[in-house]
Structure 1
């Protein structure tokens, strides 16, 4: 089916072209749906705003109003705190807008007119517009927009793939049947290989435990663990690779490896490690895609990023196309440009640090649009929805709540979007907060995926 969008002359055409590209590549669109702009020959015609109409224009299917903000040629300044998520209903679904005024819940389409600017809402979420232009007082010490300030979190919508719901609603409202095709993906960030690589690390673990206000784990537990590891009666708690990387091959699986970094957030192993050789061999044999885990400072440093990518490619003797930033250290205006420049095709960074959910409103892959250069990049985002440390942070490690959140999100989304897990090998340490429960959740995830395919 061909759908032509007849656009208002004041529309920012480059941004609208990005939305059209996104819609055409969305898994719901499949191969039988094609969106175009200002084409006279089509099966469905949508008026976006107030397009120039002439006698040759075909009959109108529906009108989508413009908010004259993000997709206007001269967008106006707008406080993100003054944006509202208004509810609109379509059959059994509820979808949510990004609007500058508060409205009561209503039907999404009445008298052949949609209730809000769907295209602008998609653009807002996918480009991470609020992060790109966040004020300094809204950012933490790493430069992240504080998560409690995120639009979706403020409105309690972060657990839902709101972008995919919008796409589904748009397609179904013009008569296109939808096939839910979401997949489960597994990923691991290799931040550290050992907890106790040497005596110094052991001493640091003792001191960190002694300084912790909760005293849990106790210093004695850490000491006992350290001595057992050094006496080889217990494997290092971070050395979980034999079972972690031996998952069935019916997953899409990724392992992200560091190849540099001098800050306090990295430097826990290097590419000359014999143990790393074993890990890479195991991962490769289990069908993992190997990617780069750029160092903390590489997010705005093209030389660091390029050097680390080349070092890892030399080590693996293979081209690297996938990447996830260490500590999720990511500048939405700068980092994608650098990743594109060094030849990365797929970034995997977009997800929450301390929450479970969909940071950009979707679990499916999508192309990056750069607001600084106003163009669609040759870079795709593969977002994740659940990171182990975020789950522990959100629940304070309470076991019942951890299981409840995972079950709630998975049951709610079903196959409506992709769902990517990110588990660190270090997170299963029995002395870490939430470690034992994360192991149970991981095992349950593997079992359920295997059962669903049997």
Structure 2
């Protein structure tokens, strides 16, 4: 048996969220039958794929021409078909017993959204992350396609054929922007010895007199609030841009850790408390950015979540929803996911690859989380991250630089989300505006409209 009863229940929840109707899934032998809760008829998936229930990236992938069989693709005529070594003469057939789909669409949905592919993997990068380069999606060229959404788009058309009386839920494109606060100030929380070394670098290596003078000034001025001369103090500008586009920014704060990659600030510091209060007063969101060493340690994630709660409570900040993202996008599936759930968080938005942008979960829709090891539906929701600025721009990753190519990559991904009525999620650090004008122009272009 491929699907547990819990997995079938979870898939039912996902289908109801997507289509706005209650469906019943029945597993019989090597097939899966989809029934509507009140209408007569069925859709049969008669070719279930065992690899969609394993932690593996080693299986074939073909392409299916949707229009050739009379279906309207969302993005491109040719849709990747992970798992099939050869295509049948027709992928979708109308038979006496019901409409038969000779492809395991729901198995693909389960495998991608549960991130079962990543469980127990050892082919990790230098930060112990499962990289895009190891994924089936990257190897077969569909990482920049919301593959699950594309197939559910086709399934929606089959549903309309089988149950033409049903009015399916329509989704509207949206966008979410978030900012990991790794460094709220370039100089304010550094030691004077570090400031001296930075000043020497500004003067002797870069001949940058302005930064040479700014460093000690900002250090001295950062006592109860960030200084306007601080290059990393882009918070009000980010909120201005979000408000101009009817968006809310989410700012995720580090609340612990002692690794060199962790933040140099404490959330209880008056500067950070004032910053949080200002963000809240302007109607934007505060969230958690668990420290570098927490991704395998549920207790630490819980402690840091409680620390953030305590600071927010002291500042009178009340949010109905509290979520965030892992520092450095470090993630171990399902350990990290379960930890977020057990810490009582509302949502989690780590799941993008550091080395390549795109659809790590195969979707641009938020969804209920599922633990593929315990086979349990979780309370927390996953908001897939589609693009992080340094993933697209930095030379160690995609390396497109501050160019039209980088801007176009962001806009291409955004357009794919728009075509499916999904959500384009963008991460841009407050400290990633070194070349102020060029960086800000790209950022503003990405979130307009």
Q: Which TM-score band applies after superposition, normalised by the shorter structure?
A: 0.7 to 0.9
1:96 pairs with 2:80: yes
Q: Is 2:143 the partner of 1:158?
A: yes
Deviation of residue 115 (structure 1)? Answer: 2.6
**Are 1:192 and 2:183 matched, yes or no?**
yes
Distance 1:59 1:239, change over 3 A: closer
Q: Does 1:277 align with 2:273?
A: yes
Over 3 Å counting, the alpha-carbon distance change for 1:240 and 1:79 in structure 2 is: closer
SS of 2:381's equivalent?
Answer: strand
- Tell me, in whole angstroms, the C-alpha distance in 1 between the residues paired with 2:89 and 2:250: 42
For the pair 1:314 / 2:318, whether they are aligned, the reply is no
Which structure 2 residues correspond to residues 236-251 of structure 1 after superposition, within 5 A?
236-246=230-240, 247-248=242-243, 250-251=246-247
Deviations 1:30-63 (CA, angstroms, capped at 9, x unpaired): 3xx111234xxxxxxx9884479xxxxx975442
Report runs of 4+ in structure 1 exceeding 6 Å deviation.
Answer: none
1:145 is aligned, of 130, 141, 152, to 130
1:11/1:370 Cα in 2 relative to 1: closer, same or farther (>3 Å)? closer
User: CA, structure 1 residues 340+59, in 2 after alignment: closer, same or farther (shift >3 Å)?
Assistant: closer
Offset of residue 234 of structure 1: 7.9
Matches within 5 A, 1:30-179: 30=20, 33-38=21-26, 49-50=30-31, 60-69=41-50, 79-90=56-67, 91-93=71-73, 94-99=78-83, 101-104=84-87, 108-111=91-94, 112-134=99-121, 136=122, 138-175=123-160, 177=168, 179=170
Task: Provide, for residues 173-210 of structure 1, a one-character-per-residue CA deviation record: whole Å limited to 9, x for no partner.
Answer: 12155634121111111111111234433455579x79
The Cα shift of 1:326 comes to 1.0
1:402 to 401, 406, 415: 406
Q: Distance in 1 between matches of 2:158 and 2:31?
A: 21
1:19-39 residue CA offsets vs partner (Å, 9 max, x unmatched): 11111122xx13xx111234x
Tell me the number of residue pairs that the alignment of Structure 1 and Structure 2 aligns.
406
Aligned pairs (5 A) from 1:252-331? 252-317=248-313, 318=318, 321-331=322-332
Q: Which runs of 5+ in 1 are unaligned?
A: 1-8, 39-45, 53-57, 211-216, 450-454
Secondary structure, counterpart of 1:81 in structure 2: coil
Deviation at residue 405 of structure 1 after TM alignment: 0.9
* Further displaced range: 284-293 or 254-263: 284-293
| Higher relative contact order (CA closer than 8 Å, sequence separation 6+) | 2
Query: What is the deviation of 1:291?
Result: 1.0
**1:351-370 matches, cutoff 5 A:** 351-370=352-371
Structure 2, gaps ≥5 residues long: 34-38, 161-166, 219-226
Evaluate the alpha carbon distance shift between residue 270 and residue 78 of structure 1 in structure 2; reply closer, same or farther with a 3 A threshold: closer
TM-score calculated relative to the size of structure 1: 0.81
- Deviating more after overlay: 398-407 vs 371-380: 398-407
Matches within 5 A, 1:299-448: 299-317=295-313, 318=318, 321-393=322-394, 394-416=398-420, 417-430=422-435, 436-446=437-447, 448=448
Q: How far, CA to CA, are the matches of 1:163 and 1:203 in structure 2?
A: 52
Tell me if structure 1 keeps the 8 A contact 2:47–2:102: no
> 1:10 and 1:229 mapped to 2: Cα distance?
60
